[in-house]
Homo-oligomer: A and B are copies of this chain.
Amino acid sequence: MPLTARIEAAIAGAVATGQGGDAPSRLSSALHYATAPGGARIRPTILTSVAMACGDDRPALTDAAAAALELIHCASLVHDDMPCFDDADTRRGKASVHRAYSEPLALLTGDSLIVMAFDTLARAAPDAPLRGIGLIRLLSTRTGMPHGICAGQGWESEARIDLRAYHRAKTGALFIAATQMGALAAGEEPEPWEELGARIGEAFQVADDLRDAVMDAGTCGKPVGQDDLHGRPNAVAELGVEGAIARLEDILGGAIASIPSCPGEAALAALVRRYADKLVPLTQTAQAR
């Protein structure tokens, strides 16, 4: 099965577990709406690619980990779009969940997706219990407090923000989860994989800051200028456009260099390189302005 089809099947299978004939139908519908069609599925793609580079000897566990990670990401998008955060009307080119369904249902959709993520991992865990439990802990650590994406969002309510700590928790955390969970799903120690995830996360945050600063809403599929609007810190404000582009290229080189030795090391380096190339048109757009 091609990688994208494998990941979509894993996510769809997880979301199906939240459905039932006697479940409230609008919330059921909102769970589908919030998770499909998805975006680039970058996090589960990285996770699955790392697992495959490490041998992928428990593919059902890899699939559960990939789906769980994407569910957490989707939950964070639903909650971040709500009026008390970004108040975003659109997401992935369609109405945001609270606009399409309602604020109560958006809140419940995010909550349900978080729960579903852990349920998905626990369903797959009995075949390899200690790996499964470890995967749950990696995901919870990178999602909640004090160092996960909840902490990252929480920094926006502080009077003084450390830019690197903020980005590392808000965006980096789920990329670290991606590389570490991929390794552990395949039975490898997760620790050596933290740096790769952290660097990929940094690269995407800088790219996102550049996109937010210079692209228009039609290209991006969501409202832009949000960081500036909310007075949030970002790399462009800190370094300027050219400085941010230089940092982006530096980070991606470091990411490839950090890949631990494993059977699929070369293929994984090629994957990161492909993602890096996708970011280049963006940086060219930025330089043209």
Is A133 at the interface (CB under 8 A from chain B)? yes
B85 with A148: CB separation less than 8 A: no
Shortest distance between the CB of A244 and any CB in chain B (Å): 24
Chain A residues 147-194 with CB under 8 Å of chain B are: 147-148, 150-151, 153-158, 162, 165
Report yes or no: B107 in contact with A144, Cβ–Cβ below 8 A: no
Q: Does A285 contact B (CB under 8 A)?
A: no
Cβ–Cβ contact A107 & B133, under 8 A: no
The stretch that binds B, out of A123-131, A198-206, A217-225, is: A123-131
Known: A146-B18, A147-B20. A137 touches B158 (CB 8 A): no
Q: Which of B82, B107, B114 sits near A85, CB closer than 8 Å? A: B107
Considering only CB atoms and an 8 Å cut-off, how many residues of chain A contact the other chain?
59
Question: Interface majority SS on A: helix, strand, loop or mixed?
Answer: helix
A112 close to B (CB within 8 Å): yes
Give chain A interface residues in 136-150, CB to chain B under 8 Å.
136-137, 140-141, 143-148, 150
Most buried by B among A110, A111, A158, A162: A111
CA distance A150 to B137 in the complex (A): 23
Chain A 234-245 near chain B by CB (<8 Å), digits 1 or 0: 000000000000
**A114-125 interface code vs B (CB 8 A; 1 in, 0 out):** 111011001101
Q: A280 to nearest B CB, angstroms? A: 34
Most B Cβ at <10 Å: residue of A116, A125, A158: A125
Asked whether any CB of chain B lies closer than 8 Å to the CB of A287, the reply is: no
Residues of B within 8 A of A122 (CB): 133, 136-137, 140
Chain B neighbourhood of A271, CB < 8 A: none
Of A2-10, A21-29, A207-215, A260-268, which stretch is located at the interface? A21-29
- Measured between beta carbons, the chain B residues less than 8 angstroms from A162 are 22
Residues in chain B near residue A24, CB distance under 8 A: 151, 154-155, 157-158
B85, B118, B130, B153: which contacts A126 (Cβ < 8 A)? B130
Query: A89 within 8 Å of B by Cβ?
Result: no
